[in-house]
A and B are shown apart, each in its own frame.
Chain A
Amino acid sequence: MYRYDEFDQTFVDQRVEQFRSQTSRRLSGELTEEEFKPLRLMNGLYLQLHGYMLRVAIPYGTLSAVQMRALADISEKYDKGYGHFTTRQNIQFNWPKLEETPDLLADLARVEMHAIQTSGNCIRNVTADHWAGVAADELADPRPVAELIRQWSSLHPEFSFLPRKFKVAVTGAPADRAAVKLHDIGLRLHLNEAGERGWEVIVGGGQGRTPMVGITVRDFLPEEELLGYLEAIMRVYNLFGRRDNKYKARIKILVHETGAEEFSRLVEEEYARAPRPSVEVERKELDRISAYFAPPAYEELGAVEPEFERRKLENPEFVRWIRTNIGAHRVAGYGIVNISLKPTGGIPGDATAEQMRTIADLAERFSHSEIRVSHHQNLVLPDVKLSNLYEVWTVLVADGMGEANIGLLGDIISCPGLDYCALATARSIPIAQSISRQFSDPARLEEIGPLRVNISGCINACGHHHVGHIGILGLEKKGKEFYQVTLGGHSGTDASIGGVLGKGFSEDEIAGAVEIIVDTYLDIRENDESFLECVRRVGTPPFKEALYAPA
Chain B
Amino acid sequence: MALGHVLTANRLSDGIVVFLTATSAWSEKINEAVLAREPLAAEALEKRGVEFEDTNLVTGAYLIEAERQGGTIVPTHVRERIRACGPTIAYLGAQTPPCQADAPAVAA
Greatest chain A CB density within 10 A among B59, B76, B86 is at: B59
In the complex, whether B12 has a CB less than 8 A from a CB of chain A is: yes
The segment out of B29-37, B39-47, B89-97, B100-108 that lies at the interface is: B89-97
In the complex, whether A429 has a CB less than 8 A from a CB of chain B is: yes
Interface string of B37-64 (1 = CB under 8 A from A): 0000000000000000101100110000
In the complex, whether B10 has a CB less than 8 A from a CB of chain A is: yes
Interface string of A404-441 (1 = CB under 8 A from B): 00000000000000111000101101100100000000
Q: How far is the CA of A26 from the CA of B58 in the complex (A)?
A: 11
Partner of A27, one of B12, B16, B17, B76: B12
> Which residues of chain A from 35 to 69 have any CB-CB distance to chain B below 8 Å in the complex?
47-52
Whether the pair A98, B15 counts as a contact (CB closer than 8 A) is yes
Whether the pair A82, B93 counts as a contact (CB closer than 8 A) is yes
In the complex, whether B3 has a CB less than 8 A from a CB of chain A is: no
> Which residues of chain B from 54 to 89 have any CB-CB distance to chain A below 8 Å in the complex?
55-56, 59-60, 76-79, 82-83, 86-89
In the complex, whether B13 has a CB less than 8 A from a CB of chain A is: yes
Whether the pair B87, A419 counts as a contact (CB closer than 8 A) is yes
Partner of B12, one of A98, A347, A476, A480: A98
Q: How far is the CB of B92 from chain A (nearest CB, A)?
A: 4
Partner of A47, one of B10, B76, B77, B86: B10
Q: Could you say which residues of chain A place their CB within 8 Å of the CB of B79?
A: 49, 418, 424, 476
Whether the pair B92, A98 counts as a contact (CB closer than 8 A) is no
Whether the pair A50, B17 counts as a contact (CB closer than 8 A) is yes
In the complex, whether A80 has a CB less than 8 A from a CB of chain B is: yes
Q: How far is the CA of A96 from the CA of B91 in the complex (A)?
A: 15
Partner of B93, one of A49, A52, A81, A418: A81
In the complex, whether A157 has a CB less than 8 A from a CB of chain B is: no
Whether the pair B14, A33 counts as a contact (CB closer than 8 A) is no
Interface residues in A, total, Cβ within 8 A: 36
Whether the pair B78, A418 counts as a contact (CB closer than 8 A) is yes
In the complex, whether A527 has a CB less than 8 A from a CB of chain B is: no
User: Which residue of the partner chain B has the closest CB to A30?
Assistant: B56
Greatest chain A CB density within 10 A among B15, B53, B77 is at: B15
In the complex, whether A479 has a CB less than 8 A from a CB of chain B is: yes
Partner of A347, one of B55, B77, B89: B89
Whether the pair B82, A49 counts as a contact (CB closer than 8 A) is yes
> Which residues of chain A from 199 to 246 have any CB-CB distance to chain B below 8 Å in the complex?
none
In the complex, whether A107 has a CB less than 8 A from a CB of chain B is: no
In the complex, whether A330 has a CB less than 8 A from a CB of chain B is: no
Whether the pair A98, B82 counts as a contact (CB closer than 8 A) is no
Whether the pair B14, A51 counts as a contact (CB closer than 8 A) is yes
User: Which residue of the partner chain B has the closest CB to A76?
Assistant: B93
Given A50-B83, A50-B86, A80-B91, residue A480 in contact with residue B78 (CB < 8 A): yes
Whether the pair B92, A80 counts as a contact (CB closer than 8 A) is yes
Whether the pair B13, A33 counts as a contact (CB closer than 8 A) is no
Interface string of B7-33 (1 = CB under 8 A from A): 000101111110000000000000000
Q: Could you say which residues of chain B place their CB within 8 Å of the CB of A81?
A: 92-93
Q: How far is the CA of A418 from the CA of B53 in the complex (A)?
A: 25
Q: Could you say which residues of chain A place their CB within 8 Å of the CB of B91?
A: 80, 82, 347, 350
Q: Could you say which residues of chain B place their CB within 8 Å of the CB of A51?
A: 10, 14-17
Q: How far is the CB of A241 from chain B (nearest CB, A)?
A: 29
Q: Could you say which residues of chain A place their CB within 8 Å of the CB of B87?
A: 50, 419-420, 429
Q: Could you say which residues of chain B place their CB within 8 Å of the CB of A48?
A: 15
Q: How far is the CA of A481 from the CA of B81 in the complex (A)?
A: 13
Q: How far is the CA of A129 from the CA of B60 in the complex (A)?
A: 39
In the complex, whether A296 has a CB less than 8 A from a CB of chain B is: no
Q: How far is the CB of A48 from chain B (nearest CB, A)?
A: 8
Q: How far is the CA of A430 from the CA of B79 in the complex (A)?
A: 15
Q: Could you say which residues of chain B place their CB within 8 Å of the CB of A426?
A: 78
Interface string of A4-45 (1 = CB under 8 A from B): 000000000000000000000011110001000000000000
Q: How far is the CB of B14 from chain A (nearest CB, A)?
A: 4
Q: Could you say which residues of chain A place their CB within 8 Å of the CB of B10?
A: 47, 51
User: Which residue of the partner chain B has the closest CB to A429?
Assistant: B89
Q: How far is the CB of B91 from chain A (nearest CB, A)?
A: 7
Q: How far is the CA of A40 from the CA of B55 in the complex (A)?
A: 19
Q: How far is the CA of A79 from the CA of B94 in the complex (A)?
A: 11
Q: How far is the CB of A349 from chain B (nearest CB, A)?
A: 12
| Pairs of residues from A and B, 9 with the lowest C-beta to C-beta distance, nearest first | A80-B93, A51-B15, A97-B14, A52-B15, A419-B87, A29-B56, A82-B92, A479-B77, A33-B59
Question: What is the interface of chain A, defined by CB distance below 8 A to chain B?
Answer: 26-29, 33, 47-52, 79-82, 95-99, 347, 350, 352, 418-420, 424, 426-427, 429-430, 433, 476, 479-481
Q: Can you report 8 A-B residue pairs in the complex whose CB atoms are below 8 A from each other?
A: A26-B12, A47-B59, A79-B93, A80-B91, A352-B92, A418-B78, A419-B87, A476-B78
Question: What is the interface of chain B, defined by CB distance below 8 A to chain A?
Answer: 10, 12-17, 53, 55-56, 59-60, 76-79, 82-83, 86-89, 91-94
Q: A28-B56, A52-B14, A419-B88 are in contact. List 17 more A-B contacts (CB 8 A).
A: A26-B12, A27-B13, A29-B55, A33-B53, A47-B59, A49-B83, A50-B86, A51-B15, A51-B16, A51-B17, A80-B93, A82-B93, A97-B14, A98-B12, A98-B14, A479-B76, A479-B77
